[in-house]
Amino acid sequence: MRKNSKLYIAGHTGLLGSALLQRLRLAGYRNIITRSHAGLDLTDQKRVSGFFAKEHPEYVFLCAGLTGGIIANRTSPADFLHTNIAIQDNVFQAAQKYDIKHLVFYGSSCSYPKDCPQPIKEEYLYKGEIESTSEAYAIAKTAGVIACRSYNAQFKTNKFITLLPNSMYGPNDNFDLENSHVLAALIRKFYEAKNVGQEKIVLWGSGKPRREFVFAGDVADASIFAMNNADRLNSTQHYNVGSGIDCSIKELAGQIANLVGFKGKIEWDTAKPDGTPQKLLDSSRFQKLGWSATISLKKGLDITYRWFVDNFKKRH
């Protein structure tokens, strides 16, 4: 990408999109197009096509989509399936029709089998049953992975790049307790428990599942790296993007409790689901090209918590 290349970030206000916007601006890119959901509904094919016809972006980062934790996935699976497939289908079709140079799409580690050998290699996709609590979202994201590969194959191109990051976190994450992911939910739970002087906090599951967390800024850097090294990527495969280090949910809860200053007791409701036992990606394929994560979980939690406190106070 040249510094004056026309870039479009779909979903620029979200966790990854906002990190990308920041990183791109810091790197000197100025010709960046964004649209709010009100300004452009990506599930509307006609509006998406009209936007691409008018703006003709050269590079597209498809960060937009409907995401959520276990509760949201169990409550609204049809919404997760329809919304994500609609966005992907409309943007891919317009990107091909209006001849963009490259597009980065983001898959999900939820697409890998529930009982997967660890660390998870790219070739393990489709090799087993996926976790039922995230089935609809995972299928939609898998469809996007296949779509990128299909467009590249049919049109003999390498335009469509698929990165598959593990659990992302950072500033601008969703901290709503009804539909947030585990790390953001824990930050808010412990923060509120401390502020009201709770003596104990009850968390879902056993705390035993292990998760790999990757800072959104690192995924943003990986995205820019992928765009600038597109000719070195294999157009028929996706690339895992992770930190390379996992921890148990119980360990994560302990770190966040210490960070927030919660001194009470932590109890685990084992009647609630745990989800997949472990999700640690093997990101060596992408790392060998020259990228690696730089933000440790401790540093990332510090940054995320400071952002949460500042913004939570403003909104409440």
Q: Which residues form the catalytic set?
A: 137
The Cα 140–Cα 277 span in angstroms is 22
For Cα atoms 190, 193, 198, give the angle at the middle one, nearest 5 degrees: 135
Place of tokens 């790219």: 122
Q: What is the DSSP string of 97-110?
A: HTT-SEEEEE--GG
**Which amino acid is located at 276 in the chain?**
T
- C-beta separation of 283 from 242 below 8 A: yes
**Which amino acid is located at 220 in the chain?**
A
Which residues on neighbouring strands pair with residue 177, listed in sequence order? none
- C-beta separation of 148 from 203 below 8 A: no
DSSP tag of 92? H
SS3 of residue 169 by DSSP: strand
b vs e for 134-164, b when ≥16 Cβ sit within 10 Å of the residue's Cβ? Answer: bbbbbbbbbbbbebbbebbeeeeebbbbbbb
Place of tokens 């964004």: 34
**Which amino acid is located at 273 in the chain?**
P
